[in-house]
Structure 1
Amino acid sequence: MKIGVLALQGDFAEHISMLKKIGVETAEVRLPEHLNGLDGLIIPGGESTTIGKLAAAYNLMEPACASSDGPHAIWGTCAGAIFLSNDIGRDQPLLGLMNIRVRRNAFGRQIDSFETDLEIDELFKATGTEHPYHAVFIRAPIIESVGGNAKVLSALEDGRIVAAQEGHLLATSFHPELTNDTRFHEYFISLAS
């Protein structure tokens, strides 16, 4: 099992650390050829416009989208979820792989960042643990809607969607890499297997 982490911008080092913590081989992805031989790709949080522009400049858009050349599973966290989505209501480079509409910075500015516990049944089933998942939201997007075969994995108490899945594609509004809880990374590995 080998998982790549898009290492153009954002908190890629934290994802690599979490993957190593659970014994997964990792690769930093900066060029199209770095996608070869991967079982999955994580697109980290950071700044979605910058990630999109850099991915386009380094010719990563098409290879990341091509199932025959690219990884089998893709997970976008925060800005990565925006980049993975097919609709954000504005023009910027997107992979457009996942049938979700995402709104950037939906919770406000940096000062409005927060943490909360989430109940995530799929995560509980996959990892065998039933305690809530402590999620860190930093200038986070929300998933306004899911379409096609996408499904909601988790929502806040007020109904705002913060995690979704479509087959082997995963999107989270929050930052699992900024916690000590490896369950979301373990869940992603199960999708990539």
Structure 2
Amino acid sequence: MSDTPVIGVLALQGDVREHLVALATADAVARPVRRPEELAEVDGLVIPGGESTTISKLAVLFGLMEPLRERVRAGMPVYGTCAGLILLAEKILDPRSGQETVGGIDMIVRRNAFGRQNESFEAAVEVRGVASPVDGVFIRAPWVESVGASVEVLAEHDGHIVAVRQGNALATSFHPELTGDHRLHELFVAMVRAVRAE
């Protein structure tokens, strides 16, 4: 078995290409995932930013929602950014009609919590496990309202939780794939390698 993990990026909507580049830079084989059979072939998955309701509805339409839930429940490493964070939540405070989540992290999230598109911003974010601050790009970003006891809070911004980890699931409110700083992708690739080594 090759030591290089194969990591998918859910390629239904959102900033897929940027994640593929970041994962490749972080020494993974990166593949777009649009169908259940493609999901079955990856060691881990990134759920990108985009529009969480659209991604949710397309995942159902493409027959991916249940296979995704099953793989995440079975321990497949998964990393969600922005909309991906929303999709990994057990509960959304203000869901849109028909919006579903994959689940995997015991947290409650608020969509668009940091404001609309024109209120997007960048900020230095101290992330536990990363040596120096990362440049967080917040675009209509959610925040985490609350977490269960088994969730590790990795970062906060202005008093709000913006990065979490529970077991093999990692999530950030912000977009590290847009900055050229791939340390969070490297952290995720390390998580995938650890699961493969077991």
Report the TM-score when normalising by structure 2: 0.89
Determine whether 1:53 maps to 2:57. yes
* Structure 1 unaligned residues grouped into runs of 5+: 124-129
- Decide which moves more: 182-191 or 15-24: 15-24
* Cα contact 2:8–2:31 (8 A) shared by 1: yes
* Cα contact 1:6–1:44 (8 A) shared by 2: yes
Count of residues in correspondence between the two structures: 186
2:21 alignment partner in structure 1: 17
Deviation, structure 1 residue 23: 2.5
* Structure 2 unaligned residues grouped into runs of 5+: 194-198
Determine whether 1:7 maps to 2:2. no
Equivalent-residue separation in structure 2 for 1:17 and 1:45 (angstroms): 15
2:85 alignment partner in structure 1: 81
Question: Where do 4+ consecutive residues of structure 1 move more than 3 Å?
Answer: 67-71
Equivalent-residue separation in structure 1 for 2:152 and 2:85 (angstroms): 14
Structure 1 pair 71/51, CA: closer, same or farther in 2 (3 Å)?
Answer: farther
Give the 3-state SS of the residue equivalent to 1:107 in structure 2. Answer: coil
Amino acid at match of 1:64: L
Amino acid at match of 1:143: V
Equivalent-residue separation in structure 1 for 2:10 and 2:23 (angstroms): 13
1:122 alignment partner in structure 2: 129
Deviation, structure 1 residue 96: 1.8
Deviation, structure 1 residue 38: 1.3
Give the superposed CA RMSD.
Answer: 1.6
Determine whether 1:181 maps to 2:181. yes
1:163 alignment partner in structure 2: 163
Structure 1 pair 69/167, CA: closer, same or farther in 2 (3 Å)?
Answer: closer
Equivalent-residue separation in structure 2 for 1:143 and 1:103 (angstroms): 6
Report the TM-score when normalising by structure 1: 0.92
1:25-84 CA distance string (max 9 Å, x none): 011100100012311100000000000000011111111121399771011100011011
Equivalent-residue separation in structure 2 for 1:47 and 1:71 (angstroms): 25
Give the 3-state SS of the residue equivalent to 2:101 in structure 1. Answer: coil
Give the 3-state SS of the residue equivalent to 2:79 in structure 1. Answer: strand
Structure 1 pair 141/69, CA: closer, same or farther in 2 (3 Å)?
Answer: closer
Equivalent-residue separation in structure 2 for 1:65 and 1:191 (angstroms): 19
Give the 3-state SS of the residue equivalent to 2:155 in structure 1. Answer: strand
